[in-house]
Structure 1
Amino acid sequence: MPPRKGSPKVKTGCRTCKRPSPHRARKVKCDEAKPKCVRCTSSGRQCAGYEPTIEHGLAWYRPQQLTAHDQREGRAFQFFSHMVGPVLSGPTDSYFWTHLVVQFSHFEPAVRHAVLAISSLYEDFHEGERVTRQKKGNAFAISHYSAAIERIKGTQDEQLMLLVCVLFVCVEYLQGDVEAALRHCKHGILILNKVGCQSWAREYVMPIFRRLSFISFFLGVKPSEDALVPGLIGFEAPMPPRFESVEEAQSAIDDITVHAIELLARGDESGKQPLQTRLQEFHGKVCELDATVPPQESSKKMALCGMKIKAEMARIQVNTIDGEGEMRYDEWADSFRRIVALGKQAAEMKVAFPSERPRASFTFEQGFLSMMGFVSIKCRDLQTRLEAIDLMTKIPAPKEALLDVGTLYRVGRRGAEIEHGVLLDDGVLERNPVAMAKLSFPPEEKRLIGAPIEHELDVIKNEDGTTTYRRTVHFLKKDADGVVHDQTEYLLDQKPGQIVVPDLPYNLPTSSRPDTAQQALPAAGTIPGVTIDSASVQTAVVTGANVSSEWYPSATIDYCNVTFAYSHDGLANDVVHVTYWVPAPDAFQNRYVSTGGGGLAINSGSQYIPTGIIAGAVSGITDGGFGDFNTQWDAVFLAANGTVNWQSVYMLGYQAHNELAVLGKQFARNFFAVPAETKLYSYYQGCSEGGREGWSQAQRFGDQFDGVVAGAPAFRYGQQQVNHLTANVMETTANYFPPSCELEKILNLTIAACDPLDGKTDGVVARSDLCKMTFDFNTTVGQAYSCEATSGSGTGGFGDLAKRQGPPSNPTPAQNGTVSAQGAALVKQYYDGLIDSQGKRVYLNYQPGSAFTDANAKFDSATNTWGVSISGLGGEWVARYLQLRDTSTLESLTNVTADTLRDWMLYGMNKYADSLQTTHPDLSAFQTAGSKILHVHGEQDDSIPAASSVHYYESVRSIMFPGQGFNESSAAMDEFYRLYLVPGGAHCGANSHQPGGGWPQTTLQTVIDWVEKGAAPETLNSTGEGIGELCRWPQRPLWTDNGAGFSCVYDQASIDTWKYTFDAFKMPVY
C-alpha cells in the first residue's frame, strides 16, 4: 500500500489479518484500527497487534505532495474521488480505485494526470456524450492523458508502470479505442511476466491484469498483431478449502475462466475433466460463502451472483469444445436458464437493496453485460434468450469495459430476429407463449456462427442538423458446404421497443412463492392427530446446484426448498419439521421420494435428497421432531437420566418417516395439481440407518412406497449396535491389542491372497466366501510391517457425521514389526463372529477383506503400550440406550465378556422390538401392493456385516415361501425383492482399501424402471473398474481368463458360509 500524505511509513495491517490461514490463499484486508482492528474483534478473533513501522526505500515514493493547478483540476479530482472511483470496479471490491489510485495520485504526477483524464472522460459519458474518432475529443482529457504518458516514459519503477497501465486502459475504454486499450493490456502483462510484482501490486493490480488477459476473448474479432494480449504466467493460486472472502472467490473464478479460455483456444479436450472438477468444487464453495453474506450487502451478493454465472458459462464452453455446429449448445438449455435465473436475482437485489455507491455510467470491469450477451448469442430457447436480452437493460452500467449496453442489446435483438424469423416490435410474442416455444431451437442452417462488431462508431450528420450514430455488425452464417456468408447490417442509435417476455404459466420462481406452497399443504385430517402450521412455510429457490454422490449420477439441479412444521395433537412442545425439494414444473415426473438418515441421524441432510430431483420427483427429509435437521437422536432420547423420551424412539423407529411420506405425497399431488385418478409414484432411498428406515416402512406399510432402495440396513438394532464392541471384548479377553499397522498388514495380505479367488486379479475380493473357506490367517505370521506416525482425528475422517458413520481414529506412533501369532488368531476370531461361553453363536461379523474399524486399539504414549479403544457406537448404545445414562460411551469393559454382550443384545432386542429391531420377515402386504425393493450391501462393509442382509433375505424366504424349493422360492422372491452384494464395497459406498470395487450408482433409477416399466434388473450396474455388473443373490460372481469372461454362478458351498443360526437365543432372530 502506498504511503499517505507523503509520509514514508506504510500501514501493513495487524499480524492476524496478514497471517495466511490454512483456509485462505492470501491475506485479508485489515481496517488497521488501533489498538486492535475491528475486523478481528468483530469476528471473535484475537488481534495480534501490529508490526513496528519502519522506513522503506520504495521506488515509487516522491517527497512532494501534488496539488491542483487550477479549479478545474480540483473539481475533476473531487469528481473522480466521489463519483468515478467507487463505481469503476462494478460490484467487486473498489479498494484499488478508491484508495490505491487516489493515494498514488497525491504524489505521482503520471497517476494524477491519468486520473484527471479518466474523470473528465467519464463525466462526458455520464452526461450522454459519445466519444468517436470523427468528433473533436475532450481537450482537457487529452492533454492530461498526454502528460501522463510523458511523465511515465522515464520511470524505471515497474510496479508504478503496472498501475499506470491499468489507468491507460481505462482511458482508452472511455475513448472507445479498442486496439490502444489492448496494447496497454499487453504491455502490462509483459511486465508482470518478466519481473513479477511486489506484495501490494500482487494483491491489488495483478488480479486486474488476470481479468484483462482474457478481455479480447469477448470482442468477437481478432485484434491486430501488435494488440494481441498474451496470457499471464505463474500467478495461479490454489483453491482454498473454503472461501473466506469475496476476493478469494473472485481469484478462483478468474483462474478458472483463464483456463477455460485457454482450452477453447487450443481445442484441447484432455483438460476438460480437471476443469469440470474445479468448477464443481468452486460452485460448492461459492454457495457456502454466499450463504454467509446478508442480503443487505448487495454489492457482495451481486458479485457472487456474477461469479456463479461465470462458472456456468465456463461449464457450457468447456463441454461444447468437442462439438460441431451451433446446435451443440442446445443440450445446455438448462444451464442458460440458470444463468438467466441468476441474472434475475442480481436485478432484484439491485432494486431491493440499492448500493451506497453512486449510479455507474461506466465500469472498468466486465460484468453482467458480457454474461447476458453470451446467452443472447448462444441460447436458442427463445424465452430464455429474450429474458437475457431484457436483463441487459436492468443490471449493467451503460458501458462495461469495451462493451456498451446499447450495442449488445441491439445485436442480441437482431440476432434473435434473424435466427427465429420474428420481428420483436410487432407484439406477437408477448401474447402467444405457445408460439414462443415453437419458434425455439431453429435448424442449423438458420443459425449465426458469430456477429463481430466494428467498434468504430460512425457519425452521420443529418440534414436537420441532428446527429445519428451507427454501428456496423456482420451477422455470419455458414451454409451446408461450409461457406461463411456475411449479412452486414447497420444498427442505428435509435431506441428499440421494449421486449416483453411472457410469463409462462409455470416456472420455478413463481411457483415457489410461500403462498403457492401454503395452498399445496395437505388438508387437515390427512394424518389423524396431526396439525400442520401453515404459517411456518418457508421457500427458497436454488438454481445451478452441482450435486454428486455414489448413490446417484453427478448433476446440476434446480429446485425449490419448501419447509414447514406440524405437531401431534396432545403432545406438549411437539414440533416436527419436514423439508421437500420441489423440481421445476417441466421436470416433474409424477414422483415422490423420501430419503433417510445414518447412524443416529434421522436424515442425511443434502446427501441423498438430490436423488429425487434428478428423478423428477418431490424429495423429502424429516427432523423427526428432534428440534432441527442437524439434531441427532442421542440429543433428545433421554428426558433425564433413567427417563426415556419414547416419542423420539417411535419417531426414529418408523413414525416420522411414515408421516414424511404421507404428507409428502399429498403435498406433491397438490403442488402440481395431479388429478386423483392419476398415479403418483412413490419411492424411498437410504443407507445404514436410512436403509433400516426404508425397511421400517416396507414391513409396516405395504403400500407406502412403490419402490424402495435400501443399502446396508441397520437390522437387528439390539444385536447390531452391541456387536461394535465384539472386537474390543475379544482383545480385552486375550489381553492383546494389535497395533494398527499389524492389522493393516493382515488386511492387505488377506486382500492379496483372496483377490484371485474370483478368477480375476484386480485388488478386489469379490468372493469373500471363498476367502473364508480357504485362507489361513496363520500364513500372515512373521510378515514384516512398517507404518509412519499419524496424528489421528477426532472423527475418523467423518467430520460432523461421525456418529452417523464411524468411530474416531487415534494418533499412532511410527511402527515397525512383524505380524504376531496373537494378532493373526484375533483376526480369525474376529471374522468368525461372537460365540458365548457355551459355544453357541451369538452374532455374525464382517467378511474377510473388511477393514478392522471396530478393532482399532489406542496407543498410550506415556506407557508406550497399546490398549482398548472402546467403540463409540457400541459404547454409547449400551450406556445411553440400555443403561439410560446421559453419557456418550462406556467408561471401561472390565468384566465384560461374550456372555455380557449376548445379554446386552437380548435386552436391547426385547426393549426395542416394536420400534428399532426392524426384522419382520413377512412382507406379504408389500408384495400384494405390487411394490419392489432393491437391497444392496457392500461385501466388505466394516460397520454393518454384509451377512446381516443375507440373513434377513433368507428369513423372508423361509417365512413367506416355506413349502417351496430353493429355485422356486428364489423366483418368487425375485418378483418383488432382490438383494445385491457389492464386491469390495465398504459401508454405504466404495472402499478405499479396494477402490476398484465401485458402487451401484443408479439404484433409484433402476427401481423406477422396475416399477414403472416392468424392467426387473437381472444384474445391477456398478461403477467398479472391470466390475460393471453385480450378481443377484444367491448367485455369486466368477470370472474366467483373468476377467475376459464373467458369469453369475450358483455355488452351494459358498452360500452356506453366509448362513447362521443364532442358537445363543431361545427365540428366532430374523
Structure 2
Amino acid sequence: MALPLLLLQIWATVGAATIDNAKTLPCEPSSFTDPIVPGARVLSITAEEKRNFDIPAVPGLLEPVSDLNFCDVQIYLTHPGANDKVLVKTWLPLTRDLWNARFQATGGGGWATGMLDLALGPAIASGYAASSTDGGHPVDYFSADWTLNQDKSINWDLLQNFGTRSLADQIYVGKSLTEQYYGQQPRYSYWNGCSQGGRQGYAVAQRYPELLDGVLAAAPALRFPALTMSFLWPNLVMKVSGTVVSNCEFNWFASKALEECDILDGAKDGVIGDPDTCTFDPRRLVGEKLECSGVEIEVTEAMAEVVRRVHEGPSTPFGENVFPSLTYGTSLATFVNATANPDGSRTLNDPGLDVFARTILLRKSDNSNNYGWIMDSDNPDMSAFRDAGGKLLSWHGTNDDIIPSKTTVNYRQRVERELGGAKAVDEFFRLFLAPGVKHCAFGNGAVPKDPLETLRNWVEKYEAPDTLEAETKNKDDEVVTRNLCRYPRKLRYLGLGDVNKASSWTCEGGDKEEELRGERKTFRDEL
C-alpha cells in the first residue's frame, strides 16, 4: 500500500475514535449494569441527569456550591439474610471535561453513615466522581433509634453497615459506575471524612486496605463505643461528687487555662499551642471569684476538683486512664448542661442528646462489650495498607470539644510501636495537630485549607507533606495563617514578624523524640 494512503487510513481511524470530551454522556438506567459488590445484591438502579443543581452552605463547615451538572445514579442493594435496603448515591460529572479522572468516597457524621448530598456536592464541584451511602437507615446525625429493633434488641446488621460494611459497598459501587460511565477506571481513588467520617476512613484503611490510594481522615472517632460513654463523664463526676459546676463556671476555668498557657508557644494569640505543655491546675484558683447569672461565686476546693477530674478523664482504681478527656481551654458546653441560678444554686439538666439515651440502652443490652469489632477503628497493624501503597493523612484540632485529640495521638503512637517507629510510619501515615481548632472546624485556631489536595500531591507526586496550610480569621476579622506541623513537631513563634502570618512561625522538636522512639523499638526487637 502506498505510504500516503496508509497515513490517510490511520488518520481516519484515529479521527473516528477521537472522544469528544465536552459531550454530555448518556445518563439513564440502561447506561449501567449491576456493579459487583461482594456480599451484597443489587435491588435497583436509577439514573437521572441533574443540571444547575445547588447545595446550600453549612455555616463554618461547607461553602455553598451551585450550578452543578452531573449524572445522579442511585443504587439500592441488600445483604442476604440482613433484610436491609441500602442506598448508595453516586454522582458523576456529565462530561469527561468536567471529570478530573478521580473517584472520592465520602464519609458520614454523628450517627449518619453518610452525608449524601452535603458531601457529594463539594466533591462534584472539585471534579470528582463521588459516592455516599445511607447505610440502610435514616440520615440523622443525632438520633440512633435505628440501632434498635422494635423489640429493643440490637439491630446488628445495620450496626455492621454503619461500622464497616457499607463503607466498602459504596466504594465498590462508585468505582464500578465511574468506570462504566467514562469507559475507564479512575486514575486514583480517595476517602474524605471528618468525625464519624474520619473513623470510617481509618476503618477502610485497616479493613479494606487495597480499595483506595489515599485516605483523608480528620478528627476521627476511633473508639466510638468508648467515646459515646465518655460523653457522660462530666455529668457522672458531678453526680458522684455532689458538686455541680455550671457551663458558665467551666468556661471561666477554660479562660483561665488559656491565660496561663497561651504564651507557652512564644506568642499571645488566643491559642494554646501545645496542650501537653500546659500544666494548668484548677485547684490553684480556689478562693478566686467570678460572676455567673449576676451572682458572685467563690471557687471552692470541691468545684476545682470536679473540673480537674472532668479534664483528667475516666480512670481505673489504679490510676490508668480509660479514655482521654478534653484538653484544658476547651469548652465543655456540648456535654455539660448545668446552670448557675441567680439564687446561687445549680441545676444539672438532662443532657438532652439522643446519643446519651441510646448509649445507655446499648450498655444495658447483652454483649455490650462486643461493639468494638464493628465500631472501633483503632487496630494499630496497618501493614496491609502500607504494603498496598496507601497514604493516610489525618489532622485533629487540639481544642476539639467532642473527640479528644489525644485519642488520635495515642493511636499514632501505637502504630509506631507496631510498625517500626515514627520514621517508618511517616512513609504512609502522617498526623497534623491544629492548635485551637474545635471539632472539624471553628475555634480560634487556623483550620486546614485543602488537606485533600495535600494528600493528592503525596499520592500522585510523591510529595510527602511536612506542613499543612491552615487559615482562619481572628476576632478583629484579620486573616490568620499557619503551616501546621507534622506530628510530633510543634508550632513555635520566631519572636519576630506578624503573629498572624505563617512565616512568623516554625516547626520545632520531634526529630530527637522520633529517633529515640525508633531506638527503643529496635532495642526491644533485638531483645
TM-score (normalizing by structure 1):
0.43
AA at the equivalent of 2:150: A
Q: Is the 8 A contact 1:579 1:621 kept in 2?
A: yes
Q: Are 2:109 and 1:595 equivalent residues in the alignment?
A: no
In structure 2, the CA distance between the partners of 1:783 and 1:560, relative to structure 1 (3 Å rule), is farther
Measure, in 2, the Cα distance between the counterparts of 1:559 and 1:868.
50
Provide Cα deviations, 1:83-141, integer angstroms capped at 9, x if missing partner. xxxxxxxxxxxxxxxxxxxxxxxxxxxxxxxxxxxxxxxxxxxxxxxxxxxxxxxxxxx
Q: Are 2:370 and 1:928 equivalent residues in the alignment?
A: no
- Aligned to 2:32, which of 511, 516, 520? 520
AA at the equivalent of 1:519: S
The alpha-carbon deviation at position 555 of structure 1 amounts to 5.6
- Aligned to 1:946, which of 400, 405, 421? 405
Measure, in 1, the Cα distance between the counterparts of 2:197 and 2:483.
24
Q: 1:366-377 alignment to 2 at 5 Å?
A: none
Find the counterpart in structure 2 of residue 558 from structure 1: 68
In structure 2, the CA distance between the partners of 1:970 and 1:769, relative to structure 1 (3 Å rule), is same
- Aligned to 1:1015, which of 439, 457, 463? 463
Measure, in 1, the Cα distance between the counterparts of 2:316 and 2:417.
26
In structure 2, the CA distance between the partners of 1:633 and 1:647, relative to structure 1 (3 Å rule), is farther
Q: 1:645-664 alignment to 2 at 5 Å?
A: 645-664=155-174
AA at the equivalent of 1:663: V
What SS does the aligned partner of 2:51 have? strand
Q: Are 2:149 and 1:639 equivalent residues in the alignment?
A: yes
In structure 2, the CA distance between the partners of 1:630 and 1:846, relative to structure 1 (3 Å rule), is closer
Find the counterpart in structure 1 of residue 251 from structure 2: 744
Measure, in 1, the Cα distance between the counterparts of 2:115 and 2:180.
26
AA at the equivalent of 1:696: A
The alpha-carbon deviation at position 781 of structure 1 amounts to 3.5
Q: Are 2:102 and 1:621 equivalent residues in the alignment?
A: no
Measure, in 2, the Cα distance between the counterparts of 1:545 and 1:877.
31
Find the counterpart in structure 1 of residue 305 from structure 2: 825
What SS does the aligned partner of 2:430 have? strand
In structure 2, the CA distance between the partners of 1:507 and 1:513, relative to structure 1 (3 Å rule), is farther
What SS does the aligned partner of 1:589 have? coil
In structure 2, the CA distance between the partners of 1:939 and 1:669, relative to structure 1 (3 Å rule), is same
In structure 2, the CA distance between the partners of 1:816 and 1:857, relative to structure 1 (3 Å rule), is farther
Q: 1:442-841 alignment to 2 at 5 Å?
A: 505=20, 510-511=24-25, 513-515=27-29, 518-523=30-35, 525-534=36-45, 536-543=46-53, 556=66, 558-560=68-70, 562-568=72-78, 570-571=80-81, 573-585=83-95, 586-626=97-137, 628-630=138-140, 634-674=144-184, 680-771=187-278, 774-787=279-292, 814-841=294-321
Q: Is the 8 A contact 2:107 2:201 kept in 1?
A: yes
The alpha-carbon deviation at position 579 of structure 1 amounts to 1.4
**Highest RCO, 1 vs 2 (Cα 8 Å, sep ≥ 6):** 2
In structure 2, the CA distance between the partners of 1:673 and 1:951, relative to structure 1 (3 Å rule), is same
Find the counterpart in structure 2 of residue 60 from structure 1: none
AA at the equivalent of 1:754: C
Greater strand share, structure number: 2
AA at the equivalent of 2:113: I
The alpha-carbon deviation at position 821 of structure 1 amounts to 3.2
Find the counterpart in structure 2 of residue 1034 from structure 1: 488
Provide Cα deviations, 1:763-801, integer angstroms capped at 9, x if missing partner. 111111111xx32323433444335xxxxxxxxxxxxxx
Q: Is the 8 A contact 2:142 2:355 kept in 1?
A: no
Q: Is the 8 A contact 1:551 1:1000 kept in 2?
A: no
Measure, in 2, the Cα distance between the counterparts of 1:1051 and 1:824.
34
Q: Is the 8 A contact 2:189 2:213 kept in 1?
A: yes
Q: Is the 8 A contact 2:469 2:483 kept in 1?
A: yes
Measure, in 1, the Cα distance between the counterparts of 2:335 and 2:288.
20
Greater helix share, structure number: 1
Provide Cα deviations, 1:708-745, integer angstroms capped at 9, x if missing partner. 11111111123211111111111112211112221111
Gaps of 5+ in 2: 1-18, 473-478, 515-527
Gaps of 5+ in 1: 1-503, 788-812, 886-906, 962-968, 1056-1070
Provide Cα deviations, 1:860-905, integer angstroms capped at 9, x if missing partner. 97997324344436632432222249xxxxxxxxxxxxxxxxxxxx
AA at the equivalent of 2:425: M
Measure, in 2, the Cα distance between the counterparts of 1:988 and 1:566.
30
The alpha-carbon deviation at position 640 of structure 1 amounts to 2.8
Measure, in 1, the Cα distance between the counterparts of 2:40 and 2:86.
13
AA at the equivalent of 1:612: A
In structure 2, the CA distance between the partners of 1:725 and 1:547, relative to structure 1 (3 Å rule), is closer
Q: How many residues align?
A: 483
In structure 2, the CA distance between the partners of 1:942 and 1:1030, relative to structure 1 (3 Å rule), is same
AA at the equivalent of 1:998: A
Q: Is the 8 A contact 2:432 2:485 kept in 1?
A: yes
In structure 2, the CA distance between the partners of 1:569 and 1:824, relative to structure 1 (3 Å rule), is closer
AA at the equivalent of 2:154: V
AA at the equivalent of 1:588: W
Measure, in 2, the Cα distance between the counterparts of 1:856 and 1:545.
33
Measure, in 2, the Cα distance between the counterparts of 1:569 and 1:1054.
48
Q: 1:878-889 alignment to 2 at 5 Å?
A: 878-884=359-365
AA at the equivalent of 2:507: C
Q: 1:263-282 alignment to 2 at 5 Å?
A: none
Measure, in 2, the Cα distance between the counterparts of 1:981 and 1:1012.
24
In structure 2, the CA distance between the partners of 1:1051 and 1:922, relative to structure 1 (3 Å rule), is closer
What SS does the aligned partner of 1:817 have? strand
AA at the equivalent of 2:225: G
What SS does the aligned partner of 2:136 have? coil
Q: Is the 8 A contact 1:853 1:943 kept in 2?
A: no
Measure, in 2, the Cα distance between the counterparts of 1:1045 and 1:559.
42
- Aligned to 1:865, which of 345, 361, 364? 345
Measure, in 1, the Cα distance between the counterparts of 2:354 and 2:511.
35
Measure, in 2, the Cα distance between the counterparts of 1:982 and 1:645.
37
In structure 2, the CA distance between the partners of 1:1041 and 1:733, relative to structure 1 (3 Å rule), is same
What SS does the aligned partner of 1:609 have? helix
Measure, in 2, the Cα distance between the counterparts of 1:603 and 1:707.
19
Q: Is the 8 A contact 1:784 1:819 kept in 2?
A: yes
Find the counterpart in structure 2 of residue 891 from structure 1: none
What SS does the aligned partner of 2:149 have? strand
Measure, in 2, the Cα distance between the counterparts of 1:634 and 1:1019.
37
In structure 2, the CA distance between the partners of 1:605 and 1:816, relative to structure 1 (3 Å rule), is farther
The alpha-carbon deviation at position 551 of structure 1 amounts to 6.5
AA at the equivalent of 2:404: P
Q: 1:8-407 alignment to 2 at 5 Å?
A: none
The alpha-carbon deviation at position 701 of structure 1 amounts to 0.8
AA at the equivalent of 2:32: A
Q: Are 2:321 and 1:853 equivalent residues in the alignment?
A: no
In structure 2, the CA distance between the partners of 1:552 and 1:545, relative to structure 1 (3 Å rule), is closer
Provide Cα deviations, 1:983-1021, integer angstroms capped at 9, x if missing partner. 101111121xxx2x1210201111111111111111001
Question: Larger Rg: 1 or 2?
Answer: 1
AA at the equivalent of 1:514: E
AA at the equivalent of 1:832: E
What SS does the aligned partner of 2:460 have? helix
Q: Is the 8 A contact 2:143 2:355 kept in 1?
A: no
Measure, in 2, the Cα distance between the counterparts of 1:848 and 1:1052.
26
Measure, in 1, the Cα distance between the counterparts of 2:307 and 2:342.
27
The alpha-carbon deviation at position 556 of structure 1 amounts to 4.7
AA at the equivalent of 1:1040: L
Measure, in 2, the Cα distance between the counterparts of 1:545 and 1:631.
18
* Identity across matched positions, percent: 26
The alpha-carbon deviation at position 603 of structure 1 amounts to 1.6
In structure 2, the CA distance between the partners of 1:817 and 1:659, relative to structure 1 (3 Å rule), is same
What SS does the aligned partner of 1:1041 have? coil
